[in-house]
């Protein structure tokens, strides 16, 4: 029998209070919808549409929740099962859209480039606890209007792991789907074994833009998993109270869920109410605040209660360098996200208030994730693990080092550190007296030198090259 630690931030009745209020807000206040096609779907299903305002009956929300899948099967780009998204299954990966990046080789903070997305993907491909890949960046060395497409191109060539990404608009999203379909062997094959999941975002409070809704509808039509969650700022774009902000985020996410199910019943959908507080001293959105962690944890528990796969986050820091602040903020987030059972846990490697991506921080967080996973695995209690016979045989003053029982269990029972220092001081000094940050940098560079992701076949690479050239040439022709 395994005894796992139990961790909750909300009682069941409090989670239900958030859900009930979100239902009331959708039914009585409604949301602003800026897509004529989306309005038609809402109106045709019993919603009240008055100009841009759409009021969604609670009965329709509940019906759509019931039709949305509670589990989404994700695969890697070779077609192997990779993620069983739902329940309390947790999967971790980097985040997206940082306009700045710490150069992997020099440490310089500079504008992000396409190669940074490629290197992030290669590192995530080789890191044990990175289950999916996001780019960590918003690249600036290609046509800025095509940054989203180029990031997917960089990732898809440098990892076999599932890709979670974003898109500026439906046109670019269609190109991203085409790229992934080419790798999968066709759209049907991509739909059968999806390795692509796409993040869309409403604008709190209660604004659903044309671009966000068109992307959501395109994903639903293509049966590609969609993440539809807001990025709230408590005290600015949502109430300053965690519970109040959560209801706004849950309502906005559910408005998207309803549309996805109206477009295609059973369309794969991931919800969430992500965000954090505005620091009233600095007027910045804090990623490292404890309230940020509580909001994500509460959101996870609410969507578990709805039986909808949930988007969460961890591994972020407001720190400007990879230091003690970065590690402490990231560790508390990682523990909370894993303990509450967030399904898609992104943003590993976020720093500087979400403005700068750090591959080094991602590597350090990979170690922290291993620690948290071991703790949350709990304590196995059965005849073998109680080890009564072994204890009796060893007797008073016994030594267990040479026991067969030790040899059988030590690899599984005791977490083995990769970056954490456990040698004595003399050995540590002899090995250079390096900090964990320095050891992580060494390991990062070693991984880049030694790990080679499974390459794409040459014929697939040629197709990607052609699609990217057509995309770039098409954009240039529109400008002329």
pLDDT at 479: 59
Which among 176, 155, 158, 183 has a CA at the least distance from the CA of 79? Answer: 183
Helix (H) or strand (E) holding 421: none
Task: Please give the Cα distance from 33 to 39 (Å, whole number).
Answer: 7
Domain presence at residue 183: yes
Domain presence at residue 150: yes
Torsion region of 347: left, alpha or beta (phi above 0 gives left; psi -120 to 50 gives alpha)? left
Domain presence at residue 477: yes
At residue 323, φ and ψ (nearest 5 deg) are: -130, -165
Task: Provide the number of structural domains found in the chain.
Answer: 1
Domain presence at residue 390: no
Separation of CA 367 from chain center: 17
Task: Please give the Cα distance from 94 to 122 (Å, whole number).
Answer: 12
Q: Quote the domain boundaries for residue 85.
A: 1-381+417-480
Strand positions, DSSP E, 43-108? 48-50, 53-55, 72-75, 81-85, 91-94, 100-102
Beta bridge partners of 114: none
Domain presence at residue 217: yes
Torsion region of 357: left, alpha or beta (phi above 0 gives left; psi -120 to 50 gives alpha)? beta
Domain presence at residue 15: yes
Domain presence at residue 394: no
pLDDT means per 10 residues, the chain with 480 residues, are: 81 98 98 98 98 98 98 98 97 97 97 98 98 97 96 98 98 98 98 98 97 98 98 96 98 98 98 96 95 98 98 97 97 97 98 97 98 95 95 94 94 94 96 96 98 96 97 75
Task: Please give the Cα distance from 288 to 277 (Å, whole number).
Answer: 10
pLDDT at 376: 95
CATH number at residue 442: 3.20.20.480
Task: Please give the Cα distance from 36 to 364 (Å, whole number).
Answer: 46
The answer, yes or no, to whether the previous bond of 22 is cis (omega within 30 of 0) is no
Integer Rg of the chain from CA: 23
CB neighbourhood size of 412 (10 A) = 9
Give first-to-last CA distance, the chain, whole Å.
68
Whole-model pTM: value is 0.96
**Tokens at residue 455, please?**
């390459």
Helix (H) or strand (E) holding 63: helix 58-67
Domain presence at residue 389: no
Number of H helices, E strands in the chain: 18, 22
407-415 contact pairs (CB < 8 A, 24+): 409/384, 409/385, 415/370, 415/371, 415/374
* DSSP letter assigned to residue 29: I
């Amino acid at each position: 029998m395994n005894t796992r630690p139990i961790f909750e931030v909300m009682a069941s009745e409090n989670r239900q209070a958030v859900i009930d209020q979100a239902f009331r807000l959708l039914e009585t206040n409604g949301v602003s919808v800026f897509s004529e096609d989306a309005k038609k779907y809402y109106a045709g299903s019993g919603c009240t549409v008055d100009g841009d305002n759409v009021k969604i009956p609670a009965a329709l929300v509940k019906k759509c929740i019931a039709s949305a899948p509670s589990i989404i099967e994700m695969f890697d780009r070779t077609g192997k099962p990779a993620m069983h998204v739902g329940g309390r299954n947790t999967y971790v990966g980097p985040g997206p859209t940082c306009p700045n990046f710490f150069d992997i080789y020099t440490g310089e903070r500079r504008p992000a480039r396409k190669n940074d997305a490629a290197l992030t993907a290669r590192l995530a491909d080789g890191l044990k606890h990175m289950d999916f890949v996001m780019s960590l960046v918003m690249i600036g060395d290609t046509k800025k209007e095509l940054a989203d497409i180029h990031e997917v191109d960089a990732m898809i060539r440098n990892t076999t792991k599932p890709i979670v990404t974003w898109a500026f608009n439906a046109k670019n999203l269609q190109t991203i789907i085409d790229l992934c379909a080419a790798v999968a062997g066709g759209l049907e094959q991509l739909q059968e074994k999806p390795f692509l999941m796409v993040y869309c975002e409403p604008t709190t409070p209660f604004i659903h833009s044309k671009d966000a809704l068109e992307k959501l509808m395109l994903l639903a039509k293509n049966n590609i998993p969609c993440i539809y969650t807001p990025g709230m700022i408590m005290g600015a774009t949502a109430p300053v109270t965690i519970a109040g902000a959560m209801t706004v985020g849950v309502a906005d996410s559910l408005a998207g869920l309803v549309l996805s199910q109206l477009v295609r019943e059973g369309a794969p959908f991931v919800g969430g109410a992500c965000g954090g507080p505005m620091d009233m001293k600095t007027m910045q959105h804090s990623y490292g605040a404890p309230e940020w962690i509580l909001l994500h944890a509460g959101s996870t528990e609410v969507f578990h209660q709805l039986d909808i796969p949930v988007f969460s986050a961890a591994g972020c820091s407001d720190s400007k360098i990879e230091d003690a602040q970065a590690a402490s903020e990231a560790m508390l987030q990682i523990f909370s996200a894993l303990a509450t059972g967030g399904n898609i846990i992104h943003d590993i490697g976020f720093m500087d208030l979400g403005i700068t991506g750090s591959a080094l921080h991602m590597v350090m967080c990979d170690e922290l994730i291993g620690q948290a996973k071991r703790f949350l695995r709990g304590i196995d209690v059965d005849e073998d693990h109680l080890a009564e016979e072994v204890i009796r045989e060893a007797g008073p003053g016994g030594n267990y080092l040479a026991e067969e029982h030790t040899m059988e269990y030590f690899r599984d029972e005791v977490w083995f550190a990769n970056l954490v220092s456990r040698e004595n001081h003399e050995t540590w000094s002899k090995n250079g007296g390096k900090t964990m940050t320095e050891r992580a940098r060494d390991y990062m560079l070693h991984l880049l030198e030694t790990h080679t992701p499974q390459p794409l076949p040459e014929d697939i690479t040629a197709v990607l090259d052609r699609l990217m050239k057509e995309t770039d040439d098409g954009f240039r022709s529109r400008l002329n």
